[in-house]
Amino acid sequence: MATMSPTILSLYRLLDPEVLADPYPLYRQLRDEAPVYWDPYLHVWVVTRHRDVVEVLRRFSAQRVPSAEKLGELGLAHLSPIARLMAEQMLFLDPPQHTRVRALVAAAFTPRRVEALRDHIQEVADTLVDAVSRQGGMDVMPDFAHRLPAIVMTRTLGTPAADYPRLKAWSEAFSDMLGAIQHNPGVAAGLLTRLEDMTSYFRAAVRQQATGPATGLVAEIAAAEVDGDSLSEDEAVVNLILTMVGAYETTSHLIGSGLLTLLRTPTELDRLRADPDLMPSAVDEMLRYESPIQYTARLALADTEFRGEHIAPGQAVLALIGAANRDPDQFPDPDRVDITRRDNHHLAFGWANHFCLGAVLARAESAIALSTLIRRLPEIGLSAEPVRWRSNPAFRGPASLTVAF
Ligand code: HEM
């Protein structure tokens, strides 16, 4: 993309690799100069202050997947199969439909299930470090950060571990489409070609696990019952896909950018090494400082007054989680990394009724991953190669992160 002048306030500037590598000056400018503004290039409202992002996530509708008619009007009818699938995922539903589906999935995906995965996560982290420990260096993203959540996810779902590269490729294709801020026919086509495979895979897993002695999330979600109600097969399939997509990239990115942040702030790394019990609060600071999901969207269903602006029905609002998490009105000295930060009410897992359903698993995986890396590779340090960020402005994380040890 041609570099856009820094005087133009638009999120479109995130397509400039330099801005993408460090979006925080742009976010600061937005928070200070135009905290609620209509983006002239993206045709959406953009909201950047912490209290406003909270308010948007509370007040606006999550039901933002365009209908088949709307897609037709936009000349995007070929995307209807993707839209149909997303429209049934809980992330895009409002109450009461959302409450019902979420309760059923949450009944299957409990904190106890995560507790039972801890030893497995540790085993995977150790195996991945064993594989590289004599090499003297690695690219953390392909060698470690992408693999760990992918392997753990197959165990969580109860699907064969050997399937993890496929699940990961599907998840990447899905998130590429979700994160795009411009229409990108190539990305949509990439997902369309995989859609059939992905849904068939989960449909077969649901049917197979329903009849076998399975213990994974696929079986549990398909069998979950609340007050005599259960999910249809289609609902189970699309929400399993959501769980998979929600779990992979985000957790990989948190491990990668969390490690990067620690290596760039050696005083905090030393504090953590001296007191490993600080890891839970360190993980939350990593979530705040480099939020893996930088923004999400909501829709106005009716005329809405918001901080003096008029938002019309049908207009979308982008809630900039990444900007809210650096808001000085909420976080003293927001650009400083402080692994013991108090009252760290970051929005990295969202807010209100769509608060991340996998937060307990994400925190456990990242804490085990980061502890294992810094304990088992005591000499770990950044190599001279510059960090490359993933070119997806919504899903923030390193594309490549080379370290020596
Ligand atoms: C560091 C890792 C993660 C981050 C930063 C993250 C972030 C988020 C955010 C911001 C939302 C809310 C989006 C919105 O309101 O529009 C969300 C929702 C969700 N996440 Fe996560 N997530 C992570 C890991 C996971 C994992 C590991 C899973 C599953 C195993 C998961 C499953 C979900 C699901 C199912 C939802 C939808 C909840 C609903 O709509 O009620 N996430 N996540």
pLDDT tens, N- to C-terminus, the chain (405 residues): 445 666 678 898 998 999 999 999 999 999 999 999 999 889 999 999 999 999 999 999 999 998 889 889 988 888 898 899 999 999 999 999 999 999 999 999 999 999 999 999 999 999 999 999 999 999 999 999 999 999 999 999 999 999 999 999 999 888 888 877 666 667 777 788 888 899 999 999 999 887 776 678 999 999 899 999 999 999 999 999 999 999 999 999 999 999 999 999 999 999 999 999 999 999 999 999 999 999 999 999 999 999 999 999 999 999 999 999 999 999 999 999 999 999 999 999 999 999 999 999 999 999 999 999 999 999 999 998 889 999 889 999 999 999 999
Q: For ligand 1, say whether the CB of 293 is within 6 Å of any of its atoms.
A: yes
CA distance readout (Å), 228 to 90, 97, 210, 233, 319 = 19, 16, 18, 16, 36
Q: For ligand 1, say whether the CB of 361 is within 6 Å of any of its atoms.
A: yes
The pLDDT score that the predictor gives to residue 211 is 77
Nearest CA to ligand 1 atom 7: 349
- State in Å: Cα 245 to ligand 1 middle: 9
Q: For ligand 1, say whether the CB of 91 is within 6 Å of any of its atoms.
A: yes
Pairing assessment for the beta strands 402-404 and 137-139 based on DSSP bridges: antiparallel
pTM, two decimals, is: 0.96
Range list of H helices, 40-180: 50-59, 68-73, 80-87, 97-108, 111-115, 118-132, 140, 147-157, 164-179
Domain at 11-404: CATH architecture: Orthogonal Bundle (1.10)
Q: For ligand 1, say whether the CB of 358 is within 6 Å of any of its atoms.
A: yes
Answer whether 278's CB lies under 8 Å from 271's CB. Answer: yes
For the chain, first and last CA: distance in Å? 36
Structure tokens at 131: 């594989």
- State in Å: Cα 301 to ligand 1 middle: 23
Q: Which of 398, 366, 368 is CA-nearest to residue 382?
A: 398
Ligand 1 atom at minimal distance to the Cα of residue 351 = 15
Beta bridge partner(s), residue 402: 139
Angle between helices 233-264 and 147-157 (to 10 degrees): 150
Nearest CA to ligand 1 atom 24: 247
Q: For ligand 1, say whether the CB of 348 is within 6 Å of any of its atoms.
A: yes
Q: For ligand 1, say whether the CB of 138 is within 6 Å of any of its atoms.
A: no
**Best probe residue, ligand 1, of 220, 291, 356, 396 (max atoms within 8 Å of C-beta):** 356
Q: For ligand 1, say whether the CB of 398 is within 6 Å of any of its atoms.
A: no
- State in Å: Cα 172 to ligand 1 middle: 15
